[in-house]
Amino acid sequence: MQNPCPLARVLSFAGPTARSAGCRERSTRCRSPQAVRSRRWIVFAVVAIGFFIIAVDNDVYNLTSPPIWSWHVLLRKSYSIVAFALVGGAYIWASCASWRQSAIVVALYSGVIEIGQHFLSNPYEPLSWNIFDVCCGGVGGALATFIPRVRAR
């Protein structure tokens, strides 16, 4: 199959010159690989920053972990794994990393969240819960490899 945008291969970016020369299709085939990678890293950064802000917010913490529920801690830890899987999926999508790299990066990200919660939030957790949360981050990062089309290029 021939590339519908032959100038995009020649130019280092698919800017206005490539579009004016016949590249009217708005797909990744008409964008440079550098632009696609940059956009993916931006998406990853937005997802990671968004989940960080949610994780250190006291109101969200109280909303998602009300003590009147008997299993509130288990529920909170399980959907934290889902959130870490989404961050890991965005990381794999941006970097094409392996499941091990994703697990390590997301576990480190979880550690940064724990530090942020210590300094920015009121809920105190003992060190054992912090370690468990970092492990949940690693598990979520590893599970991200099972998200469909996360490795699509």
What was the pLDDT predicted at 31? 74
56 lies in the same domain as 86: yes
What was the pLDDT predicted at 64? 78
What was the pLDDT predicted at 142? 95
18 lies in the same domain as 62: no
What was the pLDDT predicted at 153? 59
Model pTM score: 0.74
- State which residues form the domain around 138: 35-146
Instruction: Tell me how many domains the chain contains.
Output: 2
What was the pLDDT predicted at 8? 39
HEC sequence for 59-103: HHHHHHCCCCCCCHHHHHHHHHHHHHHHHHHHHHHHHCCCHHHHH
68 lies in the same domain as 134: yes
What was the pLDDT predicted at 100? 94
27 lies in the same domain as 80: no
What was the pLDDT predicted at 29? 57
Walking along the chain (153 residues) 10 residues at a time, the average pLDDT comes out as 43 43 49 86 96 89 77 85 96 92 96 91 80 95 89 63
Cα–Cα distance between 51 and 140 in angstroms, integer? 13
Give the number of C-alpha atoms closer than 13 A to the C-alpha of residue 23, restricted to the C-beta side. 25
